[in-house]
Structure formats: structure tokens, C-alpha cells
Structure 1
Amino acid sequence: MSSAPLRTYGGVSGTDRQAERRAQLLEAGLDLLGSGDGPRALTVRGACRHAGLAARYFYENFADRDALAVAVYDRVVEGIAAATLDAVEQAAADAEAKVRAGLSRLVRAAAEDPRRGRLLFSPSMADTALAERRVASTRMFVELLGVQAREFYGVDGGTRLDILAEMLVGGLAQTLTSWLDGSLEATEDEIVDHCAELFLAASATS
């Protein structure tokens, strides 16, 4: 990547133009990764063509296709995590309201944009550069759930809470995987209702 100063053209700074190109490539990467062809659809040439940019602009932002894939994944996960946490924090101060708010936001994020759902839950991503990222994001959501539980219930945690968090996050991920690929027939509301019931039942025993 070049370290030369980026000049201003048409009132737009070089830094802003580079940020715009990066955003275009990230959106192109999400389109391609989230397509029916999955990871096979993502190439440097394909991303550039999809974004309408020359290859040199790709390499000013990313070392290769794997770097783009990781950046796309991180942006999606960070956005969903932030939105879910915000929904929980804005909900009324009772367990059911907070659980339902967080689950509703998470399920809606996966459902409203099929690209995100495929990126996060499609088995086709398992043997790609995103495999380690998926492990890391699962760990992040487990830790977030643990923190929320400890803060809300005023408990110190422990092995039981850690196991519950692992089971709930892992179970939710598998539920969404099956739902999004069509093997689990349920409405969005049913997913939220039943998962909220299970989360609340688990919290009552923690």
C-alpha cells in the first residue's frame, strides 16, 4: 500500500476518497460473499468489477481477497454486536424485555439482509479465511452474554454461567443456521419467542 500523501480533488480530500473506495469494496465483498456461490464468488477481479474500481484501488486497501473477506466479516459482526447491545441497554430493566430486545435485534439483522445471514451462518464459509473469525466472533458473543448476565443479576459468574453462555450462543447460532437455510420452518416471531423462553428459563437456573 502506498504511503504517499493523498491530494484533494473537487473539494474531496484524498483520505475521504480512499475511505469511499474502501466502503465500495466492502459492499462489493459482502454482495459476493453473500451470494449463492459464497466464497467462490469473491476474487480480486470480481470485487473490483462489482465496485467499479481499478485493481490498484483494491490494493491500496487490502493485501488480497482473504483480507477483504475478513474486513467484510468484521464489519458485519461489529455492526450486529453494537446494534444488539444497544437494543439490550435501551430495553426496560427487566429480564424478559432485555432478552427479547437483544434476540429481536439479532434475528432481524440476520433476516433482513440475506447476505449477512449467509456470511455469518452458511456452512460454505467453514473452510475459508473466515473460519478463525467465526470462532472469535462466537467467543465475543459468549463473553457479551456472560457480562450482561453478571451485571443484570449481580452475580460473580463461575463455571455454570460460562457453560450456559456457551450453550445458549451455540444453540442460537445453530438455530439461525437451520432457519436461514430452510431446514427449520418457523417465522421470525417464533424464533424470537421460543429462543427468549429458553434464554429466560436458563437464566432462572443460573
Structure 2
Amino acid sequence: MSSSRVYGGMTAVERGRQRRTQLLVAAVTLLGTRGAAATTVTAVCSEAGLTSRYFYEQFPDRDALLRGVADDVFATLEATLVGAMQSGVDDFGVLARAPIDALIRLVDNDRILARIIFVESGAEPILRALRNDTVSRMTNLLVDKVSNLFPIRDSALPIMQLTATMMVSGMSDVLRRWLDNEIDMSADQVAEHTTALFAGAAAYAMTLAAPTGD
């Protein structure tokens, strides 16, 4: 006999999944509007319209909840960037513009998600660790993409790694400041100028990284 009893058209497992989603959505809302410090178990339960009993059925503690939020948020960020990268492009400015545009659209259209990624992730250790991991993966992806498109000496890979790290980390800080209105530019202006800066940095790195012909 099945142990999945049906209540109100839903099994117990389905109800559990629904409550988990409610709690994650509530945590995202609180993180993106009131900040990490205000995202307590009590506040999340209140936002989700659930009691703490249901919280602890889904998550052992607040850290586990935040880890679940971070996994979803940074997976969305990574998918956005990877999905926008074009194949068969041999111009770095063109290569960079599509993911930059996609990232800025994501930030501009979903400020709650953006604040979690670029602002609140600096205030919460679990979010910060996952942000750093995402930055590292994006940096390595950028180096791999460039290495597949352009001839690069093995000895010059550290230069490319340094350049990619500066690009990815710098872009993260630019978007954080833009969200806080410290950078007075439109989305199109940010995309245009950061793309040009990326292309300039890449051109410099390529002059050092290209094979010498020896």
C-alpha cells in the first residue's frame, strides 16, 4: 500500500514540495528587499504564511534555507551568462557584449534577484561562498572560451587568468554600485562601456599571450 496519502488533491510529498517552494520564495523576497539580517526563520515563516513546524520539516536551520536560495539564484545567473555566449565569434568585443547585455537585463528586470547576487551576498557567509565559487567558474569559463578561439601560449595562461578575474570581479562590483545608484548611467550605457573596457583589457592580454612564432 502506498504511503503517499492524498489531502485536498495533493499528496503529502507534493504538499511538502509546495511548502519548500513557499519558504524559498519568501526568503528570496526578504533577502532582496529587507536584507540578510532581516531574513530570519520567523520572518520567512511569516512571509510564507507557514508555521515554524513546516519550516523545520523542509530545512534543518536558516543556513540550509539560505544555501537553497543561493543554489537557485546563482544557477540562474550562470545559466544566463552561459546561454548568452555565442559560438564561432572571433571578435572579443562581440563575444563579450551578448553576455554583458544578458546580465544587465537580468539585473534591471529583477532587482530582488540582483540585490541578492551583488549586494546581500557580501553580507552573508553562505551566499558569499557561493558567489565566489560562481565568480571562479565564470572566470575559468571565460579563459576557456578565449583559449578555444585564439592562439595562446601556455606560459601566458596566468595573464589570461588575471585579466578574466579582473573582468568578472570588476563587473560584479560595477553592478553592485549601479544597483545602489552610485553609477549614474543607463543600462545601455553600462553595457556599452563595460564591453569596450573588456575588449581593451582582452586586447592588452592578447598582445602578451599570443604565440611569438618561435
* Structure 2 counterpart of 1:25: 23
Q: For residue 48 of structure 1, report the CA deviation from its aligned partner.
A: 1.2
2:103 maps to 1:106: yes
Q: For residue 120 of structure 1, report the CA deviation from its aligned partner.
A: 1.4
Residue 32 of structure 2 aligns to which amino acid in structure 1? Answer: G
TM (norm. structure 2) is 0.83
Q: For residue 10 of structure 1, report the CA deviation from its aligned partner.
A: 4.0
- Looking at structure 1, the residues matched to 50 and 4 of structure 2 have their Cα atoms a distance apart, in angstroms, of 17
SS, match of residue 83 in structure 2: helix
For 1:76-95, what aligned pairs fall within 5 Å after superposition? 76-89=73-86, 93-95=89-91
* Structure 1 counterpart of 2:209: none
For 1:111-130, what aligned pairs fall within 5 Å after superposition? 111-122=108-119, 125-130=122-127
* Structure 2 counterpart of 1:149: 146
Conserved? CA contact 2:27–2:44, under 8 Å: yes
Tell me, which stretches of 5 or more residues in structure 1 are unaligned?
A: none
Q: For residue 114 of structure 1, report the CA deviation from its aligned partner.
A: 1.4
Cα displacement string for residues 101-138 of structure 1 (whole angstroms, at most 9, x for unaligned residues): 10011111122111122111216843543232222222
RMSD of aligned residue pairs (Cα, Å):
2.2
Q: For residue 11 of structure 1, report the CA deviation from its aligned partner.
A: 4.1
* Structure 2 counterpart of 1:197: 196
- Looking at structure 2, the residues matched to 7 and 80 of structure 1 have their Cα atoms a distance apart, in angstroms, of 37
* Structure 1 counterpart of 2:175: 176
Tell me, which stretches of 5 or more residues in structure 2 are unaligned?
A: 207-214
Cα displacement string for residues 20-44 of structure 1 (whole angstroms, at most 9, x for unaligned residues): 2222111100110111x31121111
16, 21, 30: which one aligns with 2:14: 16
- Looking at structure 1, the residues matched to 81 and 25 of structure 2 have their Cα atoms a distance apart, in angstroms, of 21
- Looking at structure 1, the residues matched to 7 and 47 of structure 2 have their Cα atoms a distance apart, in angstroms, of 24
Between 1:127-136 and 1:77-86, the stretch displaced more is: 127-136
2:160 maps to 1:161: yes
Change (3 A) 1:59 1:172: same
Residue 14 of structure 2 aligns to which amino acid in structure 1? Answer: D
Conserved? CA contact 1:29–1:72, under 8 Å: yes
128, 132, 137: which one aligns with 2:129: 132
Q: For residue 159 of structure 1, report the CA deviation from its aligned partner.
A: 0.6
TM (norm. structure 1) is 0.86
Change (3 A) 1:92 1:101: farther
Of the two, which has the highest radius of gyration? Answer: 2
Change (3 A) 1:192 1:54: same
Residue 61 of structure 1 aligns to which amino acid in structure 2? Answer: Q
Conserved? CA contact 2:24–2:68, under 8 Å: yes
**How many residues are matched?**
200
Percent identity of paired positions between Structure 1 and Structure 2? 34
Conserved? CA contact 1:92–1:98, under 8 Å: no
Change (3 A) 1:127 1:52: closer
Cα displacement string for residues 74-107 of structure 1 (whole angstroms, at most 9, x for unaligned residues): 2111111112211114x77343333111001111
Conserved? CA contact 1:24–1:51, under 8 Å: yes
